[in-house]
Chain A
Amino acid sequence: MSAADLDLMEAHKRELGELAKKAGALVSGVADANAFTAAMEGQRPGELLPGCKTVFVLGGAQPRAGDWASPSYRHMETTSTSDRVTAMGNRIAQHIERRFGYYAVTIPPGVDRARRPFLNIALAAELAGCGSPSLAGPVLHPQFGFMYYTAVLTTLPLPVDAPLSTPACPAPECVSMWDELGTTPCMATCPIDDGGCLGGKLEGGRVKERRYDVARCTTRVQTSFIPGFQKALEAVFDEPEKEKRKMILYSSQFTRTLWSMSYSNVSQGQCFECMRVCPVGSTQRNLL
């Protein structure tokens, strides 16, 4: 590859990074399409877009400082979603196709067959150096902490980024807490051995072991989304008494479930407690 080609690739990456920022992204990075060796079959970039060379990752649309400050926990449910970041991804894909003339496709936020995502976007974010996995689960950026990510697959060659050399999790505060109390803020707020979802061990200031009860987490995070709807529907049909069935259908729980489904972009997740206590990026939430 000639120096001119490399310069052009750098220029393309710079242009896309600037566009991403203008569209509202906090971070962006590029992963090599061939680096997804840990992904499941059918979920690798080249299997979704033949000839895919790179994966452009954007992160942002995080809950705002004001959202975190609100004493109404219900508020957060209805404002923090993956919708905004997906719209940013679509802009990038459109730009790649119309300005550079290469194929591009945004990974949709929903699930493919059997509740599997199309592409492991957390892995894409990690490979693109946009963050690192955490004890709590979400990919965390060292400066901004928790945010939403999207990925754009493209045949456009771009200079790739490396994963972060120092993981964002555990934060120094969490290492101190572990040394003193044998737990971290996220594990303490949702302990797996006491009805919660998170467990693990730190060693030498790094995560040594991680335990995560995904099924239990789902029952808390998605109390009123599609899984909640299915559960309620099951209860309705199992109920032989007409009056009680009517009560279930008109209940606050079922009403909320329908609202969150029809306005899916405003209530996909209903628990943010492990992220609320996470110190990574917390300085971004300290405003006047």
Chain B
Amino acid sequence: MSNLAELVRAALAPDAETAIAMARADELRKLALTSGVDVVGIAPVERWDEFVPPGARPYDILPGAKSVVVVGVRGPSAGAWQSPDHRLIEMNGYDFANDRVIHLVADHIEQEYGYQAIQAPGLPVGGHQPAFSMMLAAVLAGLGTRSFAANIILNPQYGLLYYSACLTTLTLPVDPMLEQDVCPAPMCVQVYKAGGRTPCQAACPSDDGGCLHGTIGPDNRIESTYYDRERCVSRAMNFGINSFQKALEQIANEDDDERRRMMIHSDFFTRSASAIAFYKESVAQCFECMRVCPIGRAERKLK
């Protein structure tokens, strides 16, 4: 009898290496969640092979990388979504909590476990292309799926989140990717069937000056999407690097001294310069497709 029990225990017990890896994954999750992020997911680097060309995979950025830890945080507070002053949500949208926490995760991996860990590069380093897609990382780590709304990755519980990722040579147990699409929500399917548009498409229709279009198939899943990125940039980034460059071009091309002076000291140029200086407080200025999105709305409904 005791022999049988031992055999069963041995069969059920994970090997020591797996147990250590699982304990580390739990520890990292706990560290990240208690440090301020809302979700944590872990993906194996091989998942990138299918989607990303050679040269841009995690192990191309960190040689020997085995796992990618992805964290996500809610952006604007529920109070900011309530404010009738849209500028308040622009400037409260992002406080870099995800970046701060991913550094804690990377530090913990290097200092406690002795494996290499780096923050995955999130900002564009050539043109407008980031070196590493946080959107893809979030999908591959099982934290969300793409949506009709500008391809924004929606988390089933929170909707819009901001993501950061840590590449590491540490092998960790991984999370499954989501099996069910977050978008379209059942409510959006109904709205689409009744009016031919989802709430986000209705808020910003590409055939009426907006950015979004798409179709839902008979299986109630996304069949096709269209996103006018250029048009979206002109709205979502009124103030920031793009508008600064545009305004500077106009200023440089203005021959009339008096008009040039007016342009330099205008409210628009001041806000553009301010958006660069206070970069983290005004990354984007349009949240309308997300405002009408039902995913995560329950989390924004407070007293």
Interface residues of A (CB under 8 A from B): 42, 47-51, 87, 90, 93-94, 97, 101-106, 108-115, 118, 153-156, 225-226, 229-230, 233-234, 237-238, 261-262, 264
The contact sample of 16 A-B pairs, CB cut-off 8 A, is A47-B85, A94-B77, A103-B78, A103-B303, A105-B82, A108-B91, A110-B274, A110-B281, A113-B267, A114-B267, A115-B270, A156-B303, A225-B277, A226-B273, A237-B260, A237-B264
A-B CB proximity, top 8 nearest:
A105-B79, A103-B79, A264-B277, A108-B91, A261-B277, A104-B79, A110-B278, A105-B80
Are B77 and A48 within 8 A (Cβ)?
A: no
Cα(A48)–Cα(B92), bound, Å: 13
Cα(A111)–Cα(B91), bound, Å: 10
Provided the pairs A49-B83, A114-B267, A118-B87 are in contact, do residues A109 and B278 lie with their beta carbons within 8 angstroms? yes
Cα(A108)–Cα(B264), bound, Å: 24
* B169-218 with Cβ < 8 A to chain A: none
* B237-279 with Cβ < 8 A to chain A: 251-252, 257, 260-261, 264-265, 267, 269-271, 273-274, 276-279
Q: Nearest residue in A to B280 (C-beta to C-beta)? A: A265
Q: Looking at the assembled complex, report how far the CB atom of B104 sits from the nearest CB atom of chain A, in whole angstroms.
A: 15
Residues on the B chain within 8 Å of A230, using CB: 264-265, 269-270, 273
Give the interface SS of chain B, mostly helix, strand, loop or mixed: helix
Residues on the B chain within 8 Å of A48, using CB: 83-85, 88
Cα(A153)–Cα(B265), bound, Å: 31
Residues on the B chain within 8 Å of A156, using CB: 303
Cα(A264)–Cα(B78), bound, Å: 27
User: How many B residues face the partner with a CB closer than 8 A?
Assistant: 35
Q: Nearest residue in A to B97 (C-beta to C-beta)? A: A90
Cα(A42)–Cα(B83), bound, Å: 11
Cα(A114)–Cα(B265), bound, Å: 10
Residues on the A chain within 8 Å of B84, using CB: 47-48, 50
Q: Nearest residue in B to A267 (C-beta to C-beta)? A: B277
Kindly state whether residue B282 has any CB partner on chain A within 8 Å.
Answer: yes
Provided the pairs A111-B274, A226-B270, A264-B278 are in contact, do residues A105 and B91 lie with their beta carbons within 8 angstroms? no
Q: Looking at the assembled complex, report how far the CB atom of B182 sits from the nearest CB atom of chain A, in whole angstroms.
A: 22
- A102 touches which of B91, B257, B260, B302 (Cβ 8 Å): B302
Are A49 and B264 within 8 A (Cβ)?
A: no
Q: Nearest residue in B to A87 (C-beta to C-beta)? A: B95
Provided the pairs A49-B79, A113-B267, A114-B267 are in contact, do residues A233 and B251 lie with their beta carbons within 8 angstroms? yes
Q: Nearest residue in A to B265 (C-beta to C-beta)? A: A230
Q: Nearest residue in A to B252 (C-beta to C-beta)? A: A237
Residues on the A chain within 8 Å of B264, using CB: 230, 233-234, 237
Are B302 and A262 within 8 A (Cβ)?
A: no
Residues on the A chain within 8 Å of B273, using CB: 226, 229-230, 261
Cα(A37)–Cα(B88), bound, Å: 21
Cα(A259)–Cα(B11), bound, Å: 62
Cα(A229)–Cα(B78), bound, Å: 35
Cα(A7)–Cα(B255), bound, Å: 67
Are A106 and B78 within 8 A (Cβ)?
A: no
Task: Name the residue in B79, B251, B282 with the highest tally of chain A Cβ atoms < 10 Å from its Cβ.
Answer: B79
Are B88 and A118 within 8 A (Cβ)?
A: yes
- B85 touches which of A87, A118, A155, A226 (Cβ 8 Å): A118
Residues on the A chain within 8 Å of B251, using CB: 233, 237
Residues on the A chain within 8 Å of B92, using CB: 105-106, 108
Cα(A110)–Cα(B279), bound, Å: 11
Cα(A154)–Cα(B251), bound, Å: 42
Cα(A94)–Cα(B87), bound, Å: 19
Residues on the B chain within 8 Å of A106, using CB: 77, 92
Q: Nearest residue in B to A102 (C-beta to C-beta)? A: B303
Q: Flag B74-104 by CB within 8 Å of A: 1 or 0 each.
A: 0001111011110110011001000000000
Q: Looking at the assembled complex, report how far the CB atom of A36 sits from the nearest CB atom of chain B, in whole angstroms.
A: 15
Are A93 and B277 within 8 A (Cβ)?
A: no
Q: Looking at the assembled complex, report how far the CB atom of A63 sits from the nearest CB atom of chain B, in whole angstroms.
A: 21
Residues on the A chain within 8 Å of B79, using CB: 49, 93, 97, 103-105, 153-155
Q: Looking at the assembled complex, report how far the CB atom of B297 sits from the nearest CB atom of chain A, in whole angstroms.
A: 14
Are B77 and A93 within 8 A (Cβ)?
A: yes
Residues on the B chain within 8 Å of A102, using CB: 302-303
Q: Looking at the assembled complex, report how far the CB atom of A258 sits from the nearest CB atom of chain B, in whole angstroms.
A: 10
Q: Looking at the assembled complex, report how far the CB atom of B97 sits from the nearest CB atom of chain A, in whole angstroms.
A: 8
Cα(A164)–Cα(B155), bound, Å: 47
Residues on the A chain within 8 Å of B85, using CB: 42, 47-48, 112, 118
Residues on the B chain within 8 Å of A234, using CB: 260-261, 264-265
Additional pairs, 17, CB under 8 Å, beyond known A110-B282, A230-B265, A264-B279 = A48-B84, A50-B84, A103-B82, A105-B79, A105-B88, A113-B267, A113-B271, A115-B270, A118-B88, A156-B303, A230-B264, A233-B264, A238-B257, A261-B273, A261-B277, A262-B277, A264-B278
